[in-house]
Amino acid sequence: MLIKLAWRNLWRNKLRTAIMLSAMAFGLIGVVTMIGFMNGMYGNMIDNAISWQTSHVQVHHQDFVDNPETTLAIVEPELITAELDKISEVIAWSERFIVDGMVASARSSRGVRVNGVDIDAEARVTPIASSVKEGSWLPAEGRHPVVVSLKTAQRLRLKLGSKVVITFSNAEKDVTGAAFRVSGFFSTPSSNFDDGNIYVRRTDLMAMAGIDGSHEIAVLLDDKNKMSNALAISVRDKIRLITSSENSVRDWQQIQPMLASIIAQMGPSNAILLGIFVLAMGFGVVNIMLMSVFERTREFGVLMAVGMQKHKVFALIIFETSLLGVTGATLGLMSSLGLIELLQITGIPLGNMAEGLGAFGVDTTLYPQVAASEYRYIFITVVLVCVLAALYPARQILKQRPVDAMAEKH
Amino acid sequence: MSIQTTQLRKTYNQDTDFPVHAVKQLDLSIEQGEFVAVMGPSGSGKTTLLNMIGGIDIPSAGTVIIDGIDICALKDKALIAFRRDNIGFIFQDYSLLPVLTALENVEFVMQLQGHSEKECRERAITLLDQVGLGEQLHKIPSKLSGGQQQRVAVARALAPSPRFVMADEPTANLDAKSTAELLDIMQQLNEKEGTTFIFSTHDPRVIKRARRVIVFEDGQLTEDRAQ
Ligand SMILES: Nc1ncnc2c1ncn2[C@@H]1O[C@H](COP(=O)(O)OP(=O)(O)O)[C@@H](O)[C@H]1O
Ligand SMILES: [Mg+2]
């Protein structure tokens, strides 16, 4: 009966309630879309960083990280790969022979990181093979193939089949060089990455350098939760146990601390967004609850006169505001859910903005993401704020004696 | 079973330069089953008196004793419960809940007492039948005439089976016909169920029907007669 009464009271002033509910709904759509946009953008950044740059775990010689010299190869890499084969969460791993060198065409030259990779292993760990836009990924046969980015190709004026010369310092610190033939052009979401990386076969590079081994082992895990590095840490620690202390084993957040800070600030920044909305909404609710309660002062007086206990009067007011909150939050979140679902299909084209964001590794089309837990959290916050907003008006009414309440004329 | 006031006094604006003595040193005794009219000009203190003996206003001095209970000494919660179970109110402006139907308005106060839904429904329908609103159960107050609304208010006041009903100028907003109907109903209930009615009025037609008339002037009892 109390809830029925509360619900009908809520709709006494239809226009006022409808306006408040619309304000809540539109506000929530705005907030949820913003949160979805941010989540989508940062999530995309993290996804791209993991798939292209950090994988989940990487192993290097500890000195290679700061000083990438050809001689600083991983100590006993076969122990590591043997261990990786035993860990069930490991999807794939790739051993890389890496040198910093120059790539030159007839027109121009550029400093690049030359990634010597095992063709199939690399294709399993990163999406490189599928990111070749023209030509093909490194072939197993044929002399000295190289895959460069579209950007590098433009700068060096390369065509498929063009010849380039790659030079770098070998193990003896002598400059060594060889001719390679372009087999394909790739393009990744990160313009920085495209600028600085080319791919050749590991065996070709080892032959040029005059030593065997690898400088980097990148490990890809079966881990859907991009907001946490827990699984990466556990695999990292397993490898640390069996490998020489001269090797450094790091999870993706250690490799790219910016990713950890992005994740760390996502929660607070979404909370601030929600906080601002909820504060504005809270004042709105206080306002309409004050109006709706005080214009009924006499009625509450009558209720107390005919024997309604104060806690029930209080409950009635709280029910009214809760129903307002629940209705508003449901309306708002349902519409938001619909909008987000739609945007999940269509995506948000970033247009010009994508150019700028390309440097951070963000795709040109964004898919907003809002987790079920975020919807729940928003729902609870909205209802809670509505209840809090009604406490003051409710208290004011309860302080009155029935006669005084009834004496109020409206 | 009675209402007993001793040296009952109510002064508004007590601590100011212009105190209003709404009720002055009143000793009054009303027995169960009486049908009493409190009569007097506007501003004479009728409402104040009814509010105090109904337990919704607190006297400045003196006591109100109902069935041996000093209601002025009751705590908030106990006082509300006491009113709920013992005293019915009928207000000049009806004061029904506008969002509830006639039936729900009557059921509601019984539910406050904790009766089952079925009990409430049955008694509410019986009472509304008695006041001649058997056909209007599901109408909200704004769809009823003033006289009909006041009859719903009578049903509501009687639903919790109170022993005393306070009616402050119940007919002030009603036309002659509705006034007569309402008085018939109140009188019947008084005679059949022994419910005590205390109503204030300055309408001579209403006074005619009362069995006891208390005349009030300037906060003081000037006449107390049976008729
Ligand atoms: N809340 C109040 N504050 C100050 N004075 C009041 C208040 N209520 C009533 N009065 C005064 O008390 C006197 C009695 O009022 P009331 O009991 O309403 O008389 P009646 O019901 O006979 O018209 C009047 O002079 C009125 O102005
Ligand atoms: Mg009066």
pLDDT in tens, B31-65: 999 999 999 999 999 999 999 999 999 999 999 99
| Phi and psi, residue B42, nearest 5° | -60, 135
Q: What is residue A355's predicted lDDT score, i.e. its pLDDT?
A: 62
| Domain residue ranges in chain B | 2-226
Does residue A251 sit within a domain? no
Give me B67's structure tokens: 């069935």
- Residue A231, in any domain of the structure: no
Tokens of A92: 């794939």
Cβ–Cβ gap B77/A403 under 8 Å:
no
Task: Judge if A373 and A301 occupy the same domain.
Answer: yes
Q: Are residues A319 and A292 in the same domain?
A: yes
Partner residues linked to A220 by β-bridges: A92
Specify whether the CB–CB gap between A119 and A199 falls below 8 A.
no
Asked if residues A280 and B51 have their Cβ atoms less than 8 Å apart, the reply is no
Position A252 in a domain: no
Same domain, yes or no, for A66 and A44?
Answer: no
Q: Distance between CA B194 and CA B206 in Å, rounded?
A: 19
Q: Are A162 and A145 in contact (CB under 8 A)?
A: no
Residue of A nearest to B117 (CA): A1
| Residue from B18, B20, B49 to probe ligand 1 pocket by mutation (most atoms less than 8 Å from CB) | B20
Given this model, what pLDDT does residue A146 score? 97
Q: How does strand A132-135 pair with strand A175-186?
A: antiparallel
Of B220, B203, B158, the closest CA to residue B21 belongs to B220
Tell which wins on pLDDT, A192 or B153: B153
> Ligand 1: which of B17, B39, B46, B48 to mutate, most ligand atoms within 8 Å of CB?
B48
The residue type of A32 is V
Q: Which atom of ligand 1 is nearest to the CA of B51?
A: 17
In the block, residue with structure tokens 């008006």: A393
Determine the distance separating the centroid of ligand 2 and the alpha carbon of B20, expressed in angstroms.
15
Calculate how far, in angstroms, residue A294's C-alpha sits from the geometric centre of ligand 2: 23
The number of C-beta contacts closer than 8 angstroms across A and B is: 63
Closest-lying ligand 1 atom to the alpha carbon of residue B13: 4
CB within 8 Å of A53: residues ≥ 6 apart: A190, A193, A255, A256, A361
The verdict on the CB of residue B43 being under 6 Å from ligand 1 is yes
Nearest by CB to A307, from B76, B84, B100: name it.
Answer: B84
Q: Are A190 and A103 members of one domain?
A: yes
Find out whether A213 and A157 touch, Cβ atoms under 8 Å.
no
Cα(A406)–Cα(B50) distance, integer angstroms:
14
User: Contact A401/B57, CB-based, under 8 Å?
Assistant: yes
Distances (CA, A) of A49 to A70, A193, A196, A258, A374: 25, 10, 15, 10, 24
Q: How many domains does chain A have?
A: 2
Please tell me the number of the ligand nearest to residue B91's CA. 2
Residue A240 included in any domain: no
* Closest C-alpha residue for ligand 1 atom 13: B22
**Are A278 and A323 members of one domain?**
yes
Tell me if B97 and A312 make a contact (CB, 8 A cut-off): no
- Containing A192, the helix (H) or strand (E) segment is helix A191-196
A61 and A14 share one domain? no
The per-residue pLDDT for A356 is 60
- Ligand lying closest to the C-alpha of residue B22: 1
- Give per-residue pLDDT as tens, B71-118: 999 999 999 999 999 999 999 999 999 999 999 999 999 999 999 999
Domain membership of residue A88 (yes or no) is: yes
CA distance to partner chain B, nearest, from residue A310 (Å) = 8
- Rounded to 10 degrees, the C-alpha dihedral A163/A168/A170/A176 comes to 50
Strand partners, A384: none
Is A403 a member of any domain?
yes
- Domain presence at residue A230: no
Domain range spanning residue A42? Answer: 2-49+260-407
A117 forms beta bridges with A96, A201
Q: Does B141 touch chain A (CB under 8 A)?
A: no
Provide the pLDDT for residue A410.
47
* Rounded (5°) CA angle A225-A226-A232: 80
| Beta bridge pairs of residue B198 | B36, B166
Give just the sign of the alpha carbon dihedral B133, B38, B61, A409.
positive
Q: What is the mean pLDDT of chain B?
A: 93
> Do A103 and A198 fall within a single domain?
yes
ipTM of the complex: 0.94
Whether A143 and A175 have beta carbons less than 8 Å apart is answered as no
Given this model, what pLDDT does residue B227 score? 86
- Tell me, yes or no, whether A109 lies in a domain: yes
Instruction: Quote the pLDDT of residue B116.
Output: 94
- Flag residues of chain A having pLDDT under 50: 410
Same domain, yes or no: A271 and A365? yes
CB contact under 8 A, B99 and A5: yes
A202 and A318 assigned to the same domain:
no
Look at domain B2-226 and name its CATH class.
alpha beta
